[in-house]
Amino acid sequence: MNEFVVTTMLIVALFALLGSGVWIGLTLAGVAWIGMELFSSRPAGDAMALTIWGSASSWTLTALPLFVWMGEILFRTKLSESMFRGLAPWVNFLPGRLLHTNILGSTIFAAVSGSSAATCATVGKMSIPELSRRGYPPEKIVGSLGGASTLGLLIPPSIIMIVYGVAAEVSIAKLFVAGVIPGLLLAALFSGSLMVWALLNPDRVPKADADMTLREKLAEARHLIPVVLLIGGVIGAIYTGVATATEAAAVGVVGALILSGAQGSLNWATFRDALLGATRLYCMIALILAGAAFLTLAMGYIGLPRHLAEWVGGLGLSPGMLLVALAIFYIVLGCFLDGISMIVLTMGVILPTVQAAGIDLIWFGVFVVIVVEMAQITPPVGFNLFVLQGMTQRQITWIARACLPYFLLMVVAVLVLYWFPGLVTWLPGKM
C-alpha cells in the first residue's frame, strides 16, 4: 500500500483516539497496534510486550523519576518565599525592577526542577500576588513568567532532555551541560526585553522600593544560599564526572530532603504529597514513553521512517532549511501534543534524517528543547498557558498574547545558536 495512504490512516487514527479522550500513552500504543496488525506480518502482541518492558526497564531512565521527585519536594517547601526575598533587593536598580524576579526566579528554580510547569507554578505563586500588589502591568507579569518558566525544560536537570537522550542514544550528562549556556542566553534575552520595554514606558513601571545598604542586601541574599548549593551540587557532580546523571539525581533528592528539613517544612504530609505527586507524573511519562517505543518499533516494521527519510533526503534541503522545516513542524505539532509526546513520537522518524544531514545530535537536542519550549506557550495545548490560566483566571488567548514576545525571543535564540553552534557544543566538548 502507498506510504502516503498508510501515514494518513495512522495520523487519522492518532487524532481520533486523542480527540476521544484516550490517554496519550495508550493512544500511541493503539496506533502502533493498528499499524502492525494491518501493515506488517510481525505479530503485534509479543512485539508490544517486549518493547514496553524494554523501554520501562532502562537504567538511564532512573534519573527521570528522581529529578521529578526532587522538583516536587522543593515545590512544597518555603523555597519560593526565600527566592523572592533574596532576589528582590538586587533587581530594583534595573529598568523593569521587580519584573526581573520572574526571570531570575525561573532560571534558578529551573536548575532544580526540570519541569516548566512546576517552574511556572512555583515562581508564579511567589511573584504574581506580590507584583500585582505593587502595581506592575498584568500582561508583563504573566508574559515574563510564561516565557521564563519554559527554561525549566532547558536548564539542567531537564526531564525532556533525559527523554531525548534515551530516544537519541546520546549522553544525558553532555546534554545537561550543553543546555547551560543556551539557557543563560535565553534568560538574558528575556531580561533585556524587559529593560527595553521599561525604558520605552517609564510611566508604567512602579517606583522602586527604598534603597537598601549592601549589608542589608547581603543579609537578604542569604536566603538564596541553600538552593544555589543544591544546584551547584547537582550540576557540579555531572560536569566534573564525579557522578552520572542518575547518581546526581539521587544526590539532588537527598539534598532537597535536607533543604526542606532545614527549612522546617519537611513533615509526613509534605513528604507523602511530594512522593505521590512525583509518582503520578512519572507514571504518566513512563506510559507515554512505552507507547511511543512501541509506535517507533511499528513504524520501523512498516518502513515509514526509511521512506520519510528518503523523501526528505530527496528534497535536497540544506541543513539550515531542514532545521527551519523541523522547527515549523514541531511548533505546529506543539499546538496538539505536550513536549514529551512530541519528542518520543517523532525521534524515530526524524533522527535518521538529521544524522544524514550531518547535524550534531547534542546540538539538535538543545534545538528541539527550545522549539518544544515555544510550544509550551502556544495555544491550544500550551501547558504553561494552562498553569497561568489556573493562577490568574484570564483567557488563554489573553495569556498567549502576553507571552508572544517571549516566543519571538526564542526564535532569535535559535538563530543565534545556529550561527554560533559553539555556544552549545563547547562545554560538552570539555567533558
Range with lowest mean pLDDT among 110-114, 141-145, 201-205, 308-312: 308-312
Pick the residue with more confidence: 255 or 245?
255
pLDDT at site 113: 65
In a domain, 148, yes or no: yes
Residue 175: Cβ-neighbour burial (10 angstroms; 0-12, 13-18, 19+) = buried
**pLDDT over 80 (residue 169):** yes
Number of Cβ within 10 Å of residue 422's Cβ equals 11
pLDDT at site 158: 79
Decide if 281 contacts 68 (C-beta within 8 A): yes
pLDDT at site 335: 66
pLDDT at site 1: 53
Q: What is the C-alpha R_g of the chain?
A: 22
In a domain, 125, yes or no: yes
pLDDT at site 185: 93
Range with lowest mean pLDDT among 85-99, 214-228, 301-315, 369-383: 301-315
Range with lowest mean pLDDT among 168-182, 183-197, 367-381: 367-381
Which three cell numbers, joined as nine digits, stand for 395? 483567557
**pLDDT over 60 (residue 268):** yes
Decide if 79 contacts 227 (C-beta within 8 A): yes
Pick the residue with more confidence: 365 or 278?
365
Amino acid at 248: A
pLDDT at site 305: 58
**pLDDT over 80 (residue 211):** no
DSSP string, 43-88: -HHHHHHHHHHHHHT-GGGGHHHHHHHHHHHHHTSSHHHHHHHHHH
pLDDT at site 313: 61
Number of Cβ within 10 Å of residue 338's Cβ equals 20
207 φ/ψ angles, rounded to the nearest 5 degrees: -65, 155
**pLDDT over 90 (residue 397):** no
In a domain, 63, yes or no: yes
In a domain, 22, yes or no: no
In a domain, 106, yes or no: yes
pLDDT at site 384: 78
Closest CA to 112 of 122, 99, 97, 125: 122
Percent of the chain with pLDDT over 70: 88
CA-to-CA dists, residue 38 to 48, 296, 308, angstroms: 15, 16, 19
**pLDDT over 80 (residue 40):** no
For range 267-284, the mean pLDDT: 84
pLDDT at site 414: 92
The domain of 170 spans 28-35+44-429
pLDDT at site 80: 57
Pick the residue with more confidence: 300 or 147?
147
DSSP letter, residue 94: S
Average pLDDT, the chain: 80
Residue 232's pLDDT band (cuts 50, 70, 90): confident
pLDDT at site 208: 67
Decide if 77 contacts 270 (C-beta within 8 A): yes
pLDDT at site 398: 92
In a domain, 324, yes or no: yes
Range with lowest mean pLDDT among 140-144, 278-282, 334-338, 393-397: 334-338
Residue 84's pLDDT band (cuts 50, 70, 90): low
Residue 140's pLDDT band (cuts 50, 70, 90): very high
pLDDT at site 405: 92
Residue 221's pLDDT band (cuts 50, 70, 90): confident
pLDDT at site 157: 73
Pick the residue with more confidence: 335 or 421?
421
Pick the residue with more confidence: 191 or 82?
191
Number of Cβ within 10 Å of residue 311's Cβ equals 12
In a domain, 12, yes or no: no
**pLDDT over 70 (residue 93):** yes
Overall number of domains in the chain: 1
Dihedral angle sign, alpha carbons of residues 333, 379, 145, 127: negative
In a domain, 8, yes or no: no
